[in-house]
Structure 1
Amino acid sequence: MNTKVTESRWDQSGKILFTALKGSVDESDISVWKNTLSTAVSLIPENTEFKVLLDLNGFEPSSLSAHKAMRNVIPELLASHGLRPAFIDLFDEKPEMTITCEEGKICTAFANVHHDENKMADYRKRIGGDRQQFFTDKDEAAQWLNRLT
């Protein structure tokens, strides 16, 4: 994928925060993406339950530093909105992570979309659950989120 995508949007009707990071991205692209995510989160009304769909289909960090800049963004977002990130369970030594609830905005589910079928299958097996799942198809992820109450 040659086209960079760094976007986030709040869907009030479905109560889903959509965010995408695609293409060959560097640290400045990660910064732009984080800003779009922050703006979208600010649009979520206080005391609202919401779900997150992260679309990384085609994501290719241009460097290790770009990957490092990106990899904590979503776990920190989830943790700061009441959902313990399943990613923590991928590590032998679990990182310290405080679960809080900023402005009463509560994340109730997370869907991660990525083009690596093997990675997503491994994540589904190792850390997937009834509130956090891993997909290769964005539409399938959205349908899963929409079925959750």
Structure 2
Amino acid sequence: MHTTWDSTKQILRTRISGRLHQEQVEAWERRLEQVSRQIPKHLNFTMLIDIQGYEVSEQDKVVHQQQRVVIPTFLAKHGFEVGFFRLFEVQNTIPPNPDRARCIAAAHVHHDCNKMALYNQNLGRSNERFFCQLSEAEAWLHEEIF
């Protein structure tokens, strides 16, 4: 698990993998918040969410339910509505925080290429894409102009 801010490329990167425990999810969420506070509030940023090696079937149900809302909630606070809300047909009621930098694009990475292709088909947008290769996600964030 790690989260980093690349001020040169203005990309916030976060990664989780493996079988997680509740404390690990909480620590990841705290670190995400801590690192995001390094982003000046006047900046727009992009985000790379890497969950390669994370399998829902390996997680405790409560832990997975806790984990799966971290990124959608975080990004909603940063003015970005992820496909999660459309996937579960849930209305986003989380207002953007005006004291936070604004996320303008998100790249999600997971090792299941079939799942990512389906997500791209059903949830992908010009500013949100799903990948099964980290290098492709990185390239998309670098090449696109948002």
Rate the CA distance shift 1:41–1:132 in 2: closer, same or farther, 3 A.
Answer: same
Tell me, yes or no, if structure 1 residue 48 matches structure 2 residue 32. Answer: no
Structure 1 stretches of at least 4 aligned residues deviating more than 6 Å after TM superposition: none
Match of 2:6 in 1: 11
Match of 1:23 among 4, 18, 31: 18
Question: Which residue pairs with 1:78 in the alignment?
Answer: 75
Unmatched 5+ stretches in structure 1: 1-5
Normalized against structure 1, the TM-score is what?
0.90
Within 5 Å, which residues of 2 pair with 1:1-149? 6-60=1-55, 61-91=58-88, 93-149=89-145
Q: CA deviation at 1:36?
A: 1.5
Deviation at 1:78, TM superposition (A): 1.2
Shift of residue 104 of structure 1? 4.5
Count of aligned pairs between the two proteins: 143
CA distance in 2 between partners of 1:50 and 1:96 (Å):
20
Q: Deviations over 1:22-76 (max 9, x none)?
A: 1111111111111211111011112110001000000135301110111111111
Equivalents in 2 of 1:102, 1:38: separation in Å? 15
Task: Work out whether residues 76 and 95 of structure 2, in 8 Å CA contact, stay in contact via their aligned partners in 1.
Answer: yes
